[in-house]
């Protein structure tokens, strides 16, 4: 099997690559070729027995996307995107990367198939940002898409494009709407949702964290572990039962910021909680106010997708995976 991962240098991309290298296969098929692409060349994996290539690619340049697809990968996982806060601040860049990048990928797959039969599995990373307030709690399956951010709009259009290309038989694919992934390892990024991870990750490492919203803000979360398993399942599952609606809201955990903090207290104690500093940010408060708080993920759960049930689980997974089992 030949697997192409676009956005392989990002957090989820790196962890997905680690999983594939560890398993050596995707589903029941051994992987003999991995192509890892991102705006900066990803780090080549170690311990992989097949052929691994890393490429620096700008997905807003169609010619570069064409060269990726020309290798005719069996599975394409499209993770490349700029995050919500950056897409809101830089309108042109958001549409060039988040929308044109997906459109160029889908169209180059179609063009490759017109030359010679070719219809790969495509897993497209979408987001719960495709929903916009006002909405019910939980947001039901089939709820209309009225995003209130440029990022959400770009992801919603990408979902519609994938549906149409699948309907026409150009490839077989699925868009998966990620919850906010928490706890993200590494340094804070430009995502408006970054504070959800920051207020846990930094105190767990003995550092101060800034909380820009009130503790009653509720949101939908899943761990990096769950995110990787979402991708594995989407890349290998039988898609026939999904039907024509090829966008699925992934399972997650609905929790308030206050509930996150109490889970941190249970796992790491009062000392960690005292490292959280309140500093309201009106821009983030405005963006977050239009985000989903809870989703009905019964459809994706019926299809075999799974996520954590408590924030204690999410925190402990981070401690095990990123901190070597030790709290700073």
Structure tokens at 101: 């990048």
| SS3 of residue 16 by DSSP | helix
Residue 255 near residue 295, CB atoms below 8 Å: no
| C-alpha–C-alpha distance, residues 177 and 192, integer Å | 17
Considering the four listed CATH numbers 3.40.50.1580, 3.40.50.920, 3.40.50.720, 3.40.710.10, the one that applies to the domain covering 2-179+223-251 is 3.40.50.720
pTM of the model: 0.94
Local structure of 200: helix, strand or coil: helix
With b for 16 or more beta-carbon neighbours within 10 A and e for fewer, the 161-199 pattern comes to bbbebbeeebbebbbbbbbbbbbbeeeebebbbbbbbbb
Q: How confident is the model at residue 291, as a pLDDT?
A: 83
Cα(74)–Cα(54) distance, rounded to whole angstroms?
Answer: 17
Active site residues: 151
Series of mean pLDDT values for 10-residue runs along the chain (328 residues): 97 97 96 98 94 98 98 98 90 98 98 97 96 91 90 97 98 97 86 91 96 96 98 98 97 97 98 97 88 94 97 97 90
Both structure tokens of 51: 């052929």
Burial class (CB in 10 A: 0-12, 13-18, 19+), 272: buried
Q: How many CB atoms lie within 10 A of CB 160?
A: 14
pLDDT for 141: 83
Rounded CA-CA distance 170/154 in Å is: 21
The Cβ of residue 267 has, within 10 Å, a number of other Cβ atoms equal to: 19
Per-residue model confidence (pLDDT) at position 83 = 86
Residue 251: the pLDDT is 98
pLDDT score at 22: 96
Residue 69: HSE in the Cβ half-sphere, 13 Å Cα cutoff? 29
Angle at 12 between CA 138 and CA 181, to 5 degrees: 30
> How many other β-carbons are positioned within 10 Å of the β-carbon of residue 134?
6
Q: What is the pLDDT of residue 85?
A: 82
């Amino acid at each position: 099997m030949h697997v192409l991962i676009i956005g392989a240098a990002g957090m989820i991309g790196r962890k997905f690559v680690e999983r594939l290298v560890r398993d050596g296969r995707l589903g029941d098929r051994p992987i003999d070729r991995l192509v890892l692409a991102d705006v900066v060349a990803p780090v080549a994996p170690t311990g992989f027995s097949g052929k691994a290539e890393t490429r620096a690619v700008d997905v807003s340049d169609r010619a570069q996307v064409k060269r990726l697809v020309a290798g005719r990968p069996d599975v394409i996982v499209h993770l490349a995107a700029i995050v919500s806060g950056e897409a809101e601040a830089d309108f042109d860049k958001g549409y060039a990367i988040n929308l044109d990048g997906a459109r160029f990928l889908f169209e180059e797959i179609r063009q490759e198939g017109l030359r010679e039969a070719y219809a790969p599995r495509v897993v497209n990373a979408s987001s719960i940002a495709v929903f916009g307030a006002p909405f019910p709690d939980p947001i039901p399956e089939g709820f209309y898409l009225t995003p209130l951010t440029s990022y959400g709009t770009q992801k919603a259009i990408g979902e519609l494009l994938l549906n149409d290309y699948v309907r026409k038989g150009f490839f077989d694919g699925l868009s998966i709407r990620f919850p906010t992934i928490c706890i993200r390892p590494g340094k804070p990024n430009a995502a408006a949702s970054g504070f959800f991870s920051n207020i846990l990750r930094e105190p767990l490492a003995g550092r101060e964290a800034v909380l820009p919203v009130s503790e009653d803000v509720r949101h939908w979360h899943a761990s990096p572990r769950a995110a990787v398993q979402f991708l594995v399942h989407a890349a290998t599952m039988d898609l026939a039962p999904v039907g024509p609606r090829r966008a699925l809201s992934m399972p997650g955990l609905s929790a308030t910021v206050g509930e996150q903090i109490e889970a941190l207290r249970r796992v790491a104690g009062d000392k960690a909680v005292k490292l959280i500093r309140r500093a309201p940010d009106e821009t983030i408060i405005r963006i977050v106010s239009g985000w989903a708080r809870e989703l009905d993920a019964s459809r994706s759960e019926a299809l075999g997708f799974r996520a954590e049930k408590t924030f204690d689980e999410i925190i402990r997974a981070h401690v095990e995976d990123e901190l070597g089992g030790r709290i700073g």
